[in-house]
Structure 1
Amino acid sequence: MKSNYLLAILSAFLLWLAWPPIPYSAILLLVAFVPFLVAVEQTLRGNYKNKGRKVFALAFLTGVIWNTASIYWVYNAMNAFLDALPSFLISLIPYTLAPLLMACAFRLYYQMRKKNNILISFMGLASFWIAYEYLHQSWDLSFPWMTLGNGFANSHQLVQWYSITGVYGGTLWIWLCNICFFLLYWQMKNKVAAYDNRILMGTAAALVLIPSLGSIIWYSQYEEHVNPSEIVTVQPNIDPFGKWGSITPEEQLNILTTLSQKVAKLNTEFFIWPETAISDSRGINEEEFREYPQYKKVLEFLEPYHNGNVLSGIESYTIYSDQRTPTAKPLGNMFYDSFNAGVLVDGSSKLQFYHKSKLVPGAELMPFGSALAVLKPFFAHFGGTTGGYGSQEKPSVFYSASGIGAAPVICYESIWGNYVAEYVKMGAQFIAVITNDGWWGDTSGKDQHLLYAKLRAIENRRWVVRSANTGISAFINQRGDIVQKSSWWVPTALSQEINLNEELTVYTRYGDILVYLSFVTGLISIALLIVRKRN
């Protein structure tokens, strides 16, 4: 059994080695699970007791090592706020939760293998895995950072077909290749021929070459429709840990406007400022924002730019006469909601607000309400609010006076392909990601967050303009190429002419079809389990 655990560790190492931001290694994902599948098969065929538990343990071990090595920066961020022990305990949630779900998928696979042939069981495994990934982006503890399809973010030339399938197409591709290579290896090693090795070799070659070569051809031939718009993105580089103490809101706004003016042109149409760029010591009342000096400063800044708009992050709140939302908190005889929000300011008196929907569990959202209320003091230190932020259910598009639609995607939301696609379906012609990213320090977290935005560009064939407080800010074209990017932890502004797009991709129109298909095959697999068990 010891050798099986070593094989599981080997798979974890290959998965980490293939994961962004390590360059030129994503192709390893197509074989990274093979050692682990060998370990599982040897366990199934071995003379062991409690085989199901051993399969679960192997999967959990692989998942924990892979996740911890790839998102170690979660602990790094927590440790900046808390002592070592609380930081470690909270970090265990993202380090172990996904591996637990992964292990459950393999436990179900084990049950199928006892009653069904290996191909039907593998169909169930792929379905259970995709179902786990979808669950992990849909519930209160959502953290889809480690969805397998994200692994190609650093090799976007290979996955241009994400404009049809989204990242779940990548997940399915990875599993099909790993299953095929595993069958080929197992048969050759054990000198059996349950399936013709020549067919397996041909299938494996086709699975690798057809999607990748087809994508490379698509990438090389893709041309953007010319519909130019001049955009500026700003990186003020304000230390997030001292943002509400060592620097005043007025000083922050002066930095933003000064940097913007250095690269702006008279025909600049959008200035993109990062998450919480507009703030006040007590937050900004959305109903009264026009009375704030910050609003007047933005209007003054926009005067030379006749078609100019400022799309910025803002810390805001709204006051209610009653508790009309679950997150509303008492304020005397009234109630209020705090928002991590976006705002669009133009030369008129019109204001457009968007309230971040995909909230970070713990920091911005208390998962499962009162069930985890004991953790509120810890989460409050992570830049959040113990009562939770308010939010809106659906995305909304900011429209300029000239009719250009922009998607105000705030930080963590850029990880959700299906959610970003909703902005585009509603009319967004480019995607603006406003984020902080300074909480993690100079770790791979900021690089992964940048690289994942390339996948949103491909899925929707929209330019992505990224404004990150401390970096990395960037312009990404419709093929997923990073055309310009800033350095980490430097104040700067970038200017770029982008092409707006109004056409909708297959993925934008129909979303995660593969998830729905996997639910069907998953239900079939569960039905087979139940029927065979009764028989």
Structure 2
Amino acid sequence: MKNLILALISGVLLAICWPTYGIPFFIFFAWVPLLMAEHNIAKFSTVKKKKLAVFGLSYLTFLIWNAVTTGWLYNSQLPDGSKSLLAVLFPVLTNSFFMALVFVFYHLYKKSQGTYAGLVFFVAIWMCFEKLHLVWEFTWPWLNLGNVFADYHQFVQWYDTLGATGGSFWILVCNVLVFYTIRIWEAGRIRKSLIKNIAMSVAFIVLPMIISLIKYYSYSPKTIGTINVTMLQPALDPYAEKYRQDSLTIENDLLKLASENSIIKLKGNENQNIDLYLSPETSLPGPGSISERGFNNSLLINNIKNFLTQHPKSVFAGGISSYYVYKEDEEKPSTASYLDRQGIWVDEYNSAIQIIPNQQPEVYHKAMLVPGVEIFPYINFFKPILGDVMMDLGGTTRSLGVSEERKVFANPYNKSVIAPIICYESIYGEFVTDYVKKGANLLTIVTNDSWWGYSQGHKQLLAYAKLRAIETRRDIARAANSGISAHINSRGDIVEELPYGYKGALMAKVNLIDKETFYTKSGDFLSRICLFVIGALLLFIPGRKYLARK
């Protein structure tokens, strides 16, 4: 019962830390009760199946954490309009299982090699697990520990050096230090040692925050210019309007919003024209998609070009649904599908497009796809087993096409080079730095967060974007279908925003910054170091046995 209570405490502490409702400072000891429960089972419990006991308690902890922080997934709707229970059950139960499995690995290693080596293994394996969640097809980095300070970004300004993965490392080490302090006190009751360990733990928690606050208040961006951006927010219901209304009706409303917000008023009553109009994810065409072979003949795209001719030196960028039909002699990627009735191979995309009069539109295809919705994870293995069950749950039976490399859109009228980040991609720190390495001096995010209604979902995704601003030291212009559209500066502050559900446009003067941060250059190097540490610790086991025999 004592261990059960400890597991419950850890689950509650992890849950109440999370943005955008929580207090993140509990995170520095949220793991400690679960670590203590594991220690009690490993050292003192008479239970025969200790591995199963550790798995059960840790699964309870992670189930609470996942359910409370991502329960908003329940607002997803099935094709018949009912709530999708499996849309929340599958990620919550599955991610909790993966987390508990990782914790059992720590338990086994600690049992084999002792507490000190075990705690090092705990930090390293959790860092590797979070890195795995950033790269595999079941990708779900929503609960990576470094995200916890997204709403308190003033305390993590050093993410421009170590990134959000550095935040995860910091949090894990702090929890280990607090756990170690408690264990040393329980073992020896030596007051001098207790004071020393408490001081060390407090210093490791507080010093990075102090450094961050100094950076926050002393930071001054070195810009190479500014541009005026209008972020369009059409506020279409994704279930009832966005994919059912006539495409021209949707576009006309979008361009009307743009036309009504084509002049920005600055301080001193100075008026300036808009340089960039930004529309949300899949804002066009409504139902269906646009052929990439027919961009030049597309009525929708030509309407935007005609709009731009009335607003000289302006550029339009935003999200579209598109497809590409392959010729017989063209190489087809694995994501291409064969349509029997038409006798053609085709790829479908969630895309970002830049439109300029008298130029061929530029297009980028979303590369980090939402599992189950835009990508069927490990389709060759699971499709024969699951069949079309994903479609019945509002998901997909195949995967969208992707761009293998990041792409940026340069503006011919000014110095701006934008990163066309699409929705879910904004969670991925190292991934976003690839846009900056390609020359992006402004991050733009086009998104549709209205699938989950007014919930924590769209709020958390907006908060995570603030971390990308800090990591890359770039301003962000964010256009969302129903909100929250926002201008985020390079310190992570939300300068202006439009509320969820509001139909309108947000005009902002955003900075262009071309200097690369250390994190942009190095990426998640702490995760890669932890991978080598895991290898060394595993090799240590046979090495230690060999030395013992000697």
Same fold judged by TM-score > 0.5? Answer: yes
Could you say which residue in structure 1 is the equivalent of 2:7? 8
Q: 2:327 aligns with which of 321, 337, 358?
A: 321
SS in structure 1 at match of 2:127: helix
Q: Residues 308-387 of structure 1 correspond to what in structure 2 (within 5 A)?
A: 308-322=314-328, 324-331=332-339, 332-373=342-383, 375=386, 377-380=388-391, 385-387=396-398
Please state how far the C-alpha of 1:80 moved relative to its aligned partner: 7.6
1:189–1:81: structure 2 CA closer, same or farther, 3 Å change rule?
farther
Q: 2:151 aligns with which of 149, 154, 164?
A: 154
Q: 1-side partners of 2:204 and 2:72: how far apart?
A: 34
Please state if 1:277 is matched with 2:289. no
Q: 1:491 aligns with which of 503, 509, 530?
A: 503
Q: 1-side partners of 2:393 and 2:191: how far apart?
A: 54
Please state how far the C-alpha of 1:78 moved relative to its aligned partner: 4.5
Could you say which residue in structure 2 is the equivalent of 1:225? 222
Contact 1:253–1:278, Cα closer than 8 Å, also in 2: yes
Please state how far the C-alpha of 1:376 moved relative to its aligned partner: 5.8
Please state if 1:397 is matched with 2:408. yes
Q: Sequence identity of aligned pairs in percent?
A: 32
Please state if 1:136 is matched with 2:133. yes
Q: 2-side partners of 1:190 and 1:107: how far apart?
A: 24
Contact 2:316–2:354, Cα closer than 8 Å, also in 1: yes
Contact 2:79–2:394, Cα closer than 8 Å, also in 1: no
Between 159-168 and 376-385, report the one with greater CA deviation: 376-385
Between 266-275 and 278-287, report the one with greater CA deviation: 278-287
Q: Any idea what the Cα deviations from partners look like across 1:114-166, whole Å, max 9, x if unmatched? A: 23342221111000001111112211111111111111101101111111111
Please state how far the C-alpha of 1:531 moved relative to its aligned partner: 3.5
Between 159-168 and 326-335, report the one with greater CA deviation: 326-335
Please state if 1:516 is matched with 2:528. yes
SS in structure 2 at match of 1:209: helix
Q: 1:247 aligns with which of 229, 238, 245?
A: 245
Could you say which residue in structure 1 is the equivalent of 2:258? 260
Q: Any idea what the Cα deviations from partners look like across 1:199-245, whole Å, max 9, x if unmatched? A: 21221121111100110110011011242111111110011012355
Q: Residues 461-472 of structure 1 correspond to what in structure 2 (within 5 A)?
A: 461-472=473-484
Q: 2-side partners of 1:468 and 1:79: how far apart?
A: 22
Q: 1-side partners of 2:482 and 2:360: how far apart?
A: 30
Q: 1-side partners of 2:395 and 2:307: how far apart?
A: 30
Please state how far the C-alpha of 1:377 moved relative to its aligned partner: 3.8
Q: Which amino acid aligns with 2:420?
A: P
Contact 1:162–1:455, Cα closer than 8 Å, also in 2: yes
Between 283-292 and 454-463, report the one with greater CA deviation: 283-292
Q: Which amino acid aligns with 2:3?
A: N
SS in structure 1 at match of 2:124: helix
SS in structure 2 at match of 1:72: helix
Please state if 1:20 is matched with 2:19. yes
SS in structure 2 at match of 1:487: coil
SS in structure 1 at match of 2:521: helix
| TM-score, normalization by structure 2 | 0.92
1:280–1:245: structure 2 CA closer, same or farther, 3 Å change rule?
closer
Q: Which amino acid aligns with 1:240?
A: P
Please state how far the C-alpha of 1:102 moved relative to its aligned partner: 2.0
Contact 2:448–2:481, Cα closer than 8 Å, also in 1: yes
Could you say which residue in structure 1 is the equivalent of 2:123? 126
Between 436-445 and 92-101, report the one with greater CA deviation: 92-101
Please state how far the C-alpha of 1:280 moved relative to its aligned partner: 5.3
Contact 2:476–2:487, Cα closer than 8 Å, also in 1: yes
Q: 2-side partners of 1:442 and 1:62: how far apart?
A: 27
1:379–1:475: structure 2 CA closer, same or farther, 3 Å change rule?
farther
Between 271-280 and 243-252, report the one with greater CA deviation: 243-252
Q: 2-side partners of 1:384 and 1:107: how far apart?
A: 32
SS in structure 2 at match of 1:499: strand
Q: 1:202 aligns with which of 191, 199, 202?
A: 199
Contact 1:306–1:347, Cα closer than 8 Å, also in 2: no
Please state how far the C-alpha of 1:304 moved relative to its aligned partner: 3.3
Q: 2-side partners of 1:394 and 1:354: how far apart?
A: 9
Could you say which residue in structure 2 is the equivalent of 1:482? 494
Contact 2:226–2:509, Cα closer than 8 Å, also in 1: yes
Please state how far the C-alpha of 1:93 moved relative to its aligned partner: 2.7
Could you say which residue in structure 2 is the equivalent of 1:57? 56
Q: Which amino acid aligns with 1:163?
A: D
Between 470-479 and 319-328, report the one with greater CA deviation: 319-328
Please state how far the C-alpha of 1:347 moved relative to its aligned partner: 2.2
SS in structure 1 at match of 2:474: coil
SS in structure 2 at match of 1:357: coil
Between 373-382 and 181-190, report the one with greater CA deviation: 373-382
Q: Which amino acid aligns with 2:259?
A: Q
Q: Any idea what the Cα deviations from partners look like across 1:435-476, whole Å, max 9, x if unmatched? A: 111111111001000000000000000011111101111110
Q: 2-side partners of 1:38 and 1:237: how far apart?
A: 48
Q: 2-side partners of 1:533 and 1:64: how far apart?
A: 37
Q: 1-side partners of 2:422 and 2:149: how far apart?
A: 22
Q: 2-side partners of 1:58 and 1:195: how far apart?
A: 34
Flag structure 1 segments of 5+ consecutive residues without an equivalent.
none
Contact 1:111–1:529, Cα closer than 8 Å, also in 2: no
Q: 2-side partners of 1:190 and 1:72: how far apart?
A: 40
Between 91-100 and 454-463, report the one with greater CA deviation: 91-100
Q: 2-side partners of 1:501 and 1:383: how far apart?
A: 41
1:448–1:530: structure 2 CA closer, same or farther, 3 Å change rule?
farther
Q: Which amino acid aligns with 2:361?
A: L
Q: 1-side partners of 2:471 and 2:449: how far apart?
A: 23
SS in structure 2 at match of 1:495: strand
Count of residues paired in the alignment: 531
Please state if 1:286 is matched with 2:296. no
Could you say which residue in structure 2 is the equivalent of 1:440? 452
Q: Which amino acid aligns with 1:358?
A: M
Q: 2-side partners of 1:427 and 1:211: how far apart?
A: 30
1:14–1:468: structure 2 CA closer, same or farther, 3 Å change rule?
same
| TM-score, normalization by structure 1 | 0.95
Between 408-417 and 239-248, report the one with greater CA deviation: 239-248
SS in structure 2 at match of 1:465: strand
Q: 1-side partners of 2:139 and 2:539: how far apart?
A: 28
Could you say which residue in structure 2 is the equivalent of 1:97? 94
Between 322-331 and 35-44, report the one with greater CA deviation: 322-331
Contact 1:160–1:458, Cα closer than 8 Å, also in 2: yes
